[in-house]
């Protein structure tokens, strides 16, 4: 199954709850550089397994990715792939579909 490719700056839902005055809330963040600076998807570096997104509780890696598409020696990350905090990648480049 193909999914849109994730890139630097794409949104991630972080399932680690950040403390707040109103109680813990899940947050969104974005995938941070460097990712794969030599592979551009929609003019942004492609995201891969192990690339990070920040949260109020520290950075978390992408932990699930394509088993068949490799970018700079790492599996490619896509929309819906899991992150180390139990969240998922929410946004990607819809003109580039990455296989399973």
Task: Evaluate if residue 19 carries a pLDDT over 80.
Answer: no
**What pLDDT was estimated at residue 70?**
97
Give 73 or 17, the one with higher predicted confidence: 73
Domain count, the chain: 1
- State the residue range of the domain holding 83: 3-17+25-98
pLDDT, position 57 = 74
Q: Domain with 71 in it: what CATH number?
A: 2.60.200.60
pLDDT in tens, 20-71: 666 666 678 899 999 999 999 999 999 999 999 987 677 889 999 999 999 9
Return the bridge partners of 36, or none: 46
Q: Tell me the DSSP string of 44-71.
A: EEEPBTT-EE--TT--EEB----SS-EE
pLDDT above 90: residue 73: yes
């Amino acid at each position: 199954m193909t999914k849109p490719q994730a890139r630097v700056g794409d949104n991630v839902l972080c399932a680690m709850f950040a403390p707040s005055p109103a109680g813990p809330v899940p947050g969104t963040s974005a995938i941070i550089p460097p990712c794969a600076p030599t592979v551009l998807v929609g003019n942004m570096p492609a995201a891969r397994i192990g690339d990070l997104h920040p949260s109020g509780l520290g950075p978390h890696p992408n932990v699930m990715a394509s088993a068949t598409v490799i970018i700079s020696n790492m599996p490619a990350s896509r929309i819906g792939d899991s992150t180390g905090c139990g969240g998922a990648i929410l946004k990607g480049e819809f003109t580039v579909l990455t296989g399973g």
